[in-house]
Amino acid sequence: MPTCIPLVTTDTPADPATASQIGVAGALLALLRDAGTEPRPDIQLEALTLAVAADLPVLLWGEPGIGKTAALTQLAAALDLPLTTVIASVHEPSDFSGLPIVGDDPAQQGVPMAPPDWAVRLVRAGRGLLFLDELSTAPPAVQAALLRLVLERRIGALQLPPEVRIVAAANPRSSAADGWELSPPLANRFVHLQWTHDHEVVVRGLGGTWPRATLPRLDPERLPEAVDFARRAVCGLLSARPGLVHRLPSNETRRGGPWPSPRSWEMTLGLVAFATAAGSSREVLSLLVRGTVGDGPGLELLASLDRMDLPDPETLLADPAGADLPERGDLRQAVLDGVVAAVRGRPERSRWDAAWALLVRALETGAPDLVVVPATTLASLRQEDWDVPAAIERLAGAVSLSRRADRAAVRTAAAKGGR
């Protein structure tokens, strides 16, 4: 008969005191993780939620530890979307393009591309926030496989539901672990947002209260107007500046960021429409536009948007006493220059007098130096049989004072340069 050897176990009963301390530690960790939210203006968070609402892929750029992942976690919780995090750099290209699975009869049915499990879970949920983290450490082959996922929302043979939103995060190449520059095709599919920390937000958040992410409140009555405004703005700029339709940067680093193309202009048009319908601030719109087509084209579009809101010079000439001039100095200057240009285009005595009355109103409601150039140009348009209006006397002092100040500034600068 075989000899029975008794089993020796090393298991020992758990120490009740140790188990108790682990439980206390867990309670302490739960308290540390317990944090609330509050409505607080945050243009970064507002820009992110607006792009998410517009169903556009967003890429957050920021140094390590800046809070990109925490912001996405809080965003998903606030929007009640299940969060699926995928570390792009640790996956193979086939994880995004699909794995070939041979069926019973490949000659008849082909070879389907099976999606990964996380994609299947997203489809089953029907909605969610897909977070592609560490995008700048993904090698070129993986970035190429991500193209179809980001643009078409397809993984192998699987189509992601319309209610799935895509947000990615990346570190600059200088601070990424074995980082790569983003390929131009992949970069051009994202809205790029620079993610920085706000000292007050961090301090208040560590104290237990973070800003609350909420979807923008779109005004249903403004939707047609918002679409029309966005189309006029983008099409107007590109008609005047056709070279901005497609401009691939020559610098490799800049190619990995936002740059203008028909695709990114289409994204910009959508963002302008959403921002208009939501009544978003200029600061939020600036982050989004510059993050889609780049700083230069984005700033040109913002300037074009400003000009679209300027009052019609003919309306101002018809009622100069009741004119409502912009508060911003650059916009007010543009309005006054437009009025003078309108008088030059159709010089009539009544229009000339009305322009002087408008300059007086500008003098009374704004900075005097803004009327100097328009007044000088308007004076040069006077014809011999036109009497000098009384308004000129009210402007003469401001013009003379401004010119003396300019000459004094020139003399001061020359004196400093000669030292």
Q: Are residues 304 and 317 in the same domain?
A: no
Closest CA to 369 of 411, 414, 339, 336: 336
Contact present, 21 and 187 (Cβ < 8 Å): no
Count of domains forming the chain: 3
Closest CA to 215 of 152, 286, 278: 278
Closest CA to 100 of 115, 111, 88, 86: 111
Q: Are residues 326 and 344 in the same domain?
A: yes
Residue 243 in any domain: the answer is yes
Q: Are residues 180 and 90 in the same domain?
A: yes
Residue 17 in any domain: the answer is no
Q: Are residues 231 and 380 in the same domain?
A: no
**Structure confidence at residue 187 (pLDDT):** 93
Q: Are residues 335 and 189 in the same domain?
A: no
d(CA 54, CA 16): 54
**What tokens were used for 303?**
């300037």
**Can you give the pLDDT of all 419 residues of the chain as single tens digits?**
455 545 445 555 556 666 688 889 989 999 988 888 888 788 998 999 999 999 999 999 988 888 788 888 888 888 889 999 998 888 888 888 777 776 666 656 666 677 888 888 999 999 999 999 888 888 888 888 899 899 889 887 789 999 999 999 988 866 655 667 888 999 999 999 998 888 888 888 888 888 877 788 899 999 999 999 999 999 989 988 899 999 999 888 889 999 999 999 999 999 999 999 999 999 999 999 999 999 999 999 998 888 877 888 888 888 888 888 888 887 888 888 888 999 999 999 899 889 888 888 888 887 777 888 888 888 888 888 888 777 676 676 655 544 544 454 555 556 556 55
Alpha helices in 294-328 (DSSP H): 295-308, 313-318
Q: Are residues 247 and 351 in the same domain?
A: no
The residue range of the domain holding 235 is 220-308
Q: Are residues 358 and 406 in the same domain?
A: yes
Q: Are residues 271 and 344 in the same domain?
A: no
Q: Are residues 321 and 231 in the same domain?
A: no
Boundary (domain end) residue, out of 308, 325, 351: 308
Q: What is the CA radius of gyration of the chain?
A: 31
**Structure confidence at residue 232 (pLDDT):** 92
Q: Are residues 281 and 190 in the same domain?
A: no
Beta strands at 209-211 and 113-114: parallel, antiparallel or unpaired? unpaired
Contact present, 155 and 117 (Cβ < 8 Å): no
Beta strands at 99-100 and 113-114: parallel, antiparallel or unpaired? antiparallel
Residue 166 in any domain: the answer is yes
Q: Are residues 362 and 281 in the same domain?
A: no
Residue 6 in any domain: the answer is no
Boundary (domain end) residue, out of 211, 246, 263: 211
**Structure confidence at residue 408 (pLDDT):** 45
d(CA 168, CA 134): 8
Q: Are residues 249 and 185 in the same domain?
A: no
Nearest 10 degrees: Cα torsion 250, 252, 253, 257: 70
Read off the CATH number of the domain in which 142 is found.
Answer: 3.40.50.300
Boundary (domain end) residue, out of 181, 211, 241: 211
Residue 18 in any domain: the answer is no
Residue 14 in any domain: the answer is no
Residue 64 in any domain: the answer is yes
Residue 369 in any domain: the answer is yes
